Amino acid sequence: MDNFISNEDVEKALEYLAHSAKPHAEWKSRMKWLEHKRKSVKSTVSLRQKGKSQAENSTKAEASPEYNQVLDEYKESVMEFTLIDSYRKAAELKIEIWRSLNANNRKGHL
């Protein structure tokens, strides 16, 4: 059980957390920004429509190429953020397990 998670594994996990902090923040920021941009694009395109009602204009805006472009970008940002976030959580978990195992070893429980 001593080699369940090696010191090298923990070093790699720490290194990953350090190197992925900026991309993690960038993808989260992009995702949040695109949430707002989506609303803005929908409103802008909706105002350009000449439908009989606001609901019709809103529906046409949601079908527009501009709106769908933002949705595609948002989808990509959610995927990238979720992926990097999952890898970071796995690295954090690996470190936490290593810490627990080492603490138990020091206490003589393992």
Question: Quick one: pLDDT band at residue 105, thresholds 50, 70, 90?
Answer: confident
Question: What's the pLDDT score for residue 1?
Answer: 47
Domain regions of the chain by residue span: 7-104
Question: Quick one: pLDDT band at residue 42, thresholds 50, 70, 90?
Answer: very high
Q: What percent of the chain has pLDDT over 90?
A: 85
Question: What is the spatial distance between Cα 77 and Cα 34, in angstroms, rounded to a whole number?
Answer: 8
Question: What's the pLDDT score for residue 94?
Answer: 96
Query: Is the confidence at residue 9, as pLDDT, over 60?
Result: yes
pTM of the model: 0.82
CA dist list (Å): 94 to 4, 22, 44:
10, 20, 47
Stretch 16-31: mean pLDDT:
98
Question: What is the spatial distance between Cα 108 and Cα 101, in angstroms, rounded to a whole number?
Answer: 10
Question: What is the spatial distance between Cα 91 and Cα 18, in angstroms, rounded to a whole number?
Answer: 11
Quote the tokens at residue 96: 């936490």
59-73 tens-digit pLDDT:
999 999 999 999 999
